[in-house]
Amino acid sequence: MEDIVELLKQPLAFTSVTLGKKAQQPDVDRLHKTHAQIIQEYRKMEPGLAFLPLDFSVGRWGPEEVASFKEPMRQVVAAILLLLEFHIGRIHGEVRTEDILREHAEQTKNGDITDEKQPRKVGAQQLSQLVELLEGLRSSGNQQLPQEIVDELVHTSAMAIDACLEGLTATRECIHMVNCRRWVRRAPPTEREDLYQRSRTALENLRKAHSGFLRDMTELLIGHFAPTTNGESRDQRKIGALVVGMVFEEHVCITITRTQALLDRVSTAFHDSKGTKLWWPTSLRYAASWAFRKKAKAPTTTTVVEDDPDEAEDLTKAAQEKLRISRGYRPKNRSPLGRAILGTYHWFTSNEGLFALRMVVVTIALGIPGVIPHTAGFYYREKGLWGLIMAQTGLLVYMSEFTFSTLGRLVGTVAGGVLGLLAWYIGSANGPGNPYGLSAVMAVMLAILMWIRLYLPPNLVQGGIMGGATFMLVVAYSYDDTHIPSYGNPGVGYTVFWRRLLLVLIGVGAATIVQLFPRPPSAARHICKTLSHTVRTLSDHYALLLSCWGRSRHDGRVLAEPISLQLTEGLVMLDGPIDMLRFDFSSSRFDSESLGRVKRLCHIMNRTLGQLLLLSGTLPNEFQHRLAQQTALLDHQCIGEIMAVLGMCEQALKTGDALPEILPTPLVRRAFDYWQSHPAEIDFSPETVRDENYRRFCVALSAYLKFLGTIDELVLVIKGVLDYTGSRVRV
């Protein structure tokens, strides 16, 4: 939790810079990395919280106090991530809008020059309609703010952001003092009291910052965008900029409120903890439930790329059951024999089943020479068991991981062998092994290897371990050969190294053969399937939103942030596998870049749907009906078109089939057409802008239009990859 709080300070620290600076790729990359780091740290925290009922500990806080921090921590993480994604979305939207308009201007300028050999533009019909819309009215999520207003926004939000940073700092210090100063450097009562007083001061500053920011920001927006006192209307083209300002105001207000709630809970627990205690497990039956309950799983942080997306359990299924949302009628149940046969077939044809069969085949193939009488001696003398171990540990489920792991193992073996040769020949020269010289040089080498083992990135640890093992084998076998001669010793120095390298190459070669046949298990296909499942989950979330909107149901508000965070965690865990696709052998048309874009668009859809689900339980019915009337949110034809487009995108990701050229896109334009056919007055009077519910209405409006625009962009990305006239099969 302390690490999460420290990471949460980063988005707040450069919020003003991001809002005011022109979109630049390095800044966007930094925002994406911060977003991923926060999600990864939050994901690490959840298994620890799940194991709290089984914990023995000595300290001021017991399992119940620590567990009580989970909900306010989750709410702060969700609020700051929304603020971070707001900046990412604005930067991306501005850049994309400028690119589309610039390309259209260039095509218009060169319209008289026709080239029959020039490839057809993918999604030309959709892009032409989108250009007409952008030229007339840019969407509210992409409206660019004038620079003078940006400067005033930065100045107005500075005090609020500083108060949030102060509150998070006080929260972190309270957690650190309780957690890390229990035995050594125990804090005296005066220091504890001083920290408590500082936390209460930070709470008071947050309250003042909230009221002051809300007042100043509202008056700023009224001064620039509301109608003048003589009834004269402002420039209507700035309506989108006003919506952006109100959305930013709402995000900052939510961040202040939730930071205040977290600090209040932590400081109260900090003050109420009077002394150090011994805390016993609170529920041993909790652990037994993992063994005896059906489908119960122990908490884990396993990478989602290893999971079958069709078997994923998520909160959406619980939501569907609770709200009685169904994708269709229940099919007739199969007989037990039929389920057993079908399950066995699916197991043997799945990537996991094929991995198990490959492991059996390579084990038998490399183990047979060790049990045949004519080859057993050779197998023992040449240490053939190491080849078997290398083949077994080298096999992986997907080809990209296998290729990367193989390269890492080979590099690690060579590097470890070189270090081992240096250690042996520096410490012993041409002698039989000088224990004093070897001790001196090993002290240096082991420090290097220990640093590699501790600080290498997780994806390179396997190669580091191989290097350390090869280093130890070179030195140890050389010393044994000169001091304990026995049958099968491989020799001294260089002889040990090349024999070890040969065994590694044999194991890797055997693993490569069984990995490639009968067909390479493509990680690209699996990630496509996972993203297809994600799109289907998003369509379920959209159906959940429609069932909650305008019906005064609070189920959506309760489920909004948990299901949004859950899906965000799964998408962030795909970052590593997607980056590793450059090592993949696959016939899939989707590569690392295109799948990364699809994943980013799924992030945006997840965020906007989460916002709308949350607002479905907090926004008054009057404003919910108003949004539905202005944007066709509940119009059956528009709902059918959105569901149809999402369904075709889901199917295209799974099968690789190209999308139809003519689709009911852009969906954003259809929403604006509905708005024009059902005219409604847009009221931005000072009284309206001051209304808190109207501000949330603007957040909902921006989120819904952003959701539609993201679906339109997803269609263009998939068309650009699967269009047969402009794409090539990647092998």
Pairwise CA distance, residues 485 & 480, whole Å: 7
Q: In terms of residue numbers, what domain contains 216?
A: 1-96+145-279
Do 569 and 668 lie in one domain? The reply is: yes
Pairwise CA distance, residues 284 & 433, whole Å: 55
Do 492 and 465 lie in one domain? The reply is: yes
Residue 549 pLDDT class (50, 70, 90 cuts)? confident
376 has a pLDDT exceeding 60:
yes
Q: 64 φ, ψ to 5°?
A: -65, -40
Do 511 and 551 lie in one domain? The reply is: no
Does residue 403 form part of some domain? yes
Query: Closest Cα partner for 451 from 437, 439, 468?
Result: 468
Pairwise CA distance, residues 124 & 122, whole Å: 5
Phi-psi region of 295 (alpha: psi -120 to 50; beta: other; left: phi over 0): left
CA 82, 86, 92 angle in degrees (round to 5)? 140
502 has a pLDDT exceeding 60:
yes
Do 272 and 372 lie in one domain? The reply is: no
pLDDT for 535-546, tens place per residue? 998 998 898 888
Pairwise CA distance, residues 527 & 654, whole Å: 9
Q: Say which residue, 605 or 588, is predicted with more confidence.
A: 605
587 has a pLDDT exceeding 90:
no
Phi-psi region of 443 (alpha: psi -120 to 50; beta: other; left: phi over 0): alpha
- CB contact at 8 A, 75 and 2: no
Do 36 and 88 lie in one domain? The reply is: yes
Joined together, the tokens standing for residue 294 give 């059906």
Residue 144 pLDDT class (50, 70, 90 cuts)? low
Does residue 124 form part of some domain? no
**With the CA atoms of 6, 11, 13 and 15 taken in that order, what torsion angle do they form, in degrees rounded to the nearest 10?**
-170
The rounded percent of the chain whose pLDDT value lies above 90 is 25
- Of 258, 279, 300, the residue at which a domain comes to its end is 279
* Cα atoms in the Cβ-side hemisphere of radius 13 Å centred on 428: 24
Pairwise CA distance, residues 659 & 142, whole Å: 27
* CATH code of the domain covering residue 546: 1.20.58.220
Do 35 and 83 lie in one domain? The reply is: yes
* CATH code of the domain covering residue 189: 1.20.58
Does residue 151 form part of some domain? yes
DSSP state of 300: -
Does residue 329 form part of some domain? no
Joined together, the tokens standing for residue 213 give 């920011």
- CB contact at 8 A, 546 and 297: no
Q: Which of 96-105, 154-163, 195-204, 403-412 has the lowest mean pLDDT?
A: 96-105
Q: Quick one: average pLDDT of 164-178?
A: 92
pLDDT at 338: 82
Q: Quick one: average pLDDT of 434-446?
A: 91
Do 508 and 545 lie in one domain? The reply is: no
Do 503 and 536 lie in one domain? The reply is: no
DSSP state of 368: G
Return the SS3 of 57: strand
The residues near 100 (Cβ < 8 Å, ≥ 6 apart) are 127, 130, 131, 134
CA 326, 330, 659 angle in degrees (round to 5)? 60
Q: In Å, how far are 560, 637, 725 from 640, measured between CA atoms? A: 23, 5, 29
- CB contact at 8 A, 470 and 386: no
- Of 471, 497, 516, the residue at which a domain comes to its end is 516
Joined together, the tokens standing for residue 37 give 């780091």
Q: 612 φ, ψ to 5°?
A: -65, -40
- CB contact at 8 A, 299 and 47: yes
- Alpha carbon 26 to chain centroid distance? 19
Do 507 and 427 lie in one domain? The reply is: yes
- Of 279, 303, 326, the residue at which a domain comes to its end is 279
Residue 729 pLDDT class (50, 70, 90 cuts)? very low
Do 501 and 572 lie in one domain? The reply is: no
461 has a pLDDT exceeding 70:
yes
CB neighbours of residue 556 within 10 Å = 27
Does residue 77 form part of some domain? yes
Arithmetic mean of pLDDT over the chain: 80
Q: Say which residue, 176 or 92, is predicted with more confidence.
A: 176
Q: 592 φ, ψ to 5°?
A: -60, -40
Residue 445 pLDDT class (50, 70, 90 cuts)? very high
Residue 56 pLDDT class (50, 70, 90 cuts)? confident
Do 530 and 482 lie in one domain? The reply is: no
pLDDT at 506: 93
pLDDT for 624-648, tens place per residue? 888 888 888 888 888 999 999 999 9
DSSP letters of 230-260? Answer: TS----GGGHHHHHHHHHHHHHHHHHHHHHH
- CB contact at 8 A, 432 and 482: yes
pLDDT at 282: 72
Sign for the CA dihedral angle at 27, 28, 33, 36 comes to positive
Do 502 and 591 lie in one domain? The reply is: no
Does residue 310 form part of some domain? no
Q: Which of 288-292, 386-390, 591-595 has the lowest mean pLDDT?
A: 288-292
pLDDT for 505-523, tens place per residue? 999 999 999 988 877 888 8
The residues near 194 (Cβ < 8 Å, ≥ 6 apart) are none
59 has a pLDDT exceeding 70:
yes
pLDDT at 504: 92
pLDDT at 701: 86
* Count: domains in the chain: 3
